[in-house]
Amino acid sequence: MASQLFAICFNASRPSDLARFWSGLLGWDVFDGPNGDIEVLPPHPDDPAAFRIRFLPSQEPKTGRNRAHFDLTSASAEDQRRTVARALDFGGRHIDVGQLPEEGHVVLADPDGNEFCVIEAGNRFLADTGFIGALACDGTQEVGYFWSAALGWPLVWDQDQETAIQSPDGGTKITWGGPPVAPKTGPNRLRFELALPADADGDAEVDRLIALGATRANSGADEWSWPMLLDPDGNEFTLRRRASR
């Protein structure tokens, strides 16, 4: 059985502060994680399309723009303004990443400097998602194909080297913008964490992911995960031994 998307992990200088921000903005509950991390869980964590957000302590400084960011959806212009105001109240800030004045989305950063966008109402591509409409990533067409096969999520966009996938159960889309892809300047601050059912063969799943194009990043492992892997674009991800909660 293929692994499932379990969590989006943030390396954070202040995990508790960042968890409070995203919990407040999304309306999700905060829990202490199993390894000293902090988790923010969606209202229905057993939903097959749901994932949690984990905040892991890290002293690595942020260098450059993240390779991935959340796109939050809006039901109306007023709804977009409320989301932006709520983000600012919780410690977010406006940032300039080169967006044009006539563009309808609002670009913000959370208290740790991680970029995210609040998308204007009426975005047809995100109409069949939830509040987290997309995890928008810098990445090649090849990496979009890899993640489609790795997760078993169908491609919902594949044009001009841009790709997007979505769970068969709906929910958040994951998108890749195609070239040019900026070179990595260090470990990603955001990464995927996958999970297998308790009775699945994890070593066989690692072999499957490698056959699809992943590589091993290191030889270290712990109670909870197999060694860290890299996708075809060099993005770190982990495979979790068992899911909890």
Full pLDDT tens readout for the chain, 245 residues = 689 999 999 999 889 999 999 999 999 999 987 666 899 999 988 888 899 999 999 888 888 899 999 999 999 999 999 999 999 999 999 998 888 777 889 999 999 999 999 999 999 999 999 999 999 999 999 999 999 999 999 999 999 999 999 999 999 999 999 999 988 888 999 999 999 877 888 889 999 999 999 999 875 555 556 779 999 999 999 998 765 55
Query: Quick check: bond before 101 cis, omega within 30?
Result: no
Q: Which two tokens stand for residue 242?
A: 């068992």
Rounded to an integer, what distance in angstroms lies between the CA atom of residue 138 and that of residue 203? 29
Strands 132-137 and 173-176: parallel
What is the residue-averaged pLDDT of the chain?
91
State which amino acid sits at residue 110: D
Integer angstrom CA distances of residue 42 from 35, 51, 188: 20, 7, 23
In this predicted model, what pLDDT tens digit does every residue of 22-70 receive, in sequence order? 999 999 999 987 666 899 999 988 888 899 999 999 888 888 899 999 9
Question: What pLDDT, on the 0 to 100 scale, is given for residue 225?
Answer: 65
Q: Model pTM?
A: 0.93
Q: Is 210 helix (H, G, I), strand (E, B) or coil?
A: helix
Helical packing angle, 202-212 and 141-151, nearest 10°? 150
Question: Phi, psi (5° rounding) for residue 147?
Answer: -70, -30
In this predicted model, what pLDDT tens digit does every residue of 173-194 receive, in sequence order? 999 999 999 888 889 999 999 9
Question: What pLDDT, on the 0 to 100 scale, is given for residue 160?
Answer: 96
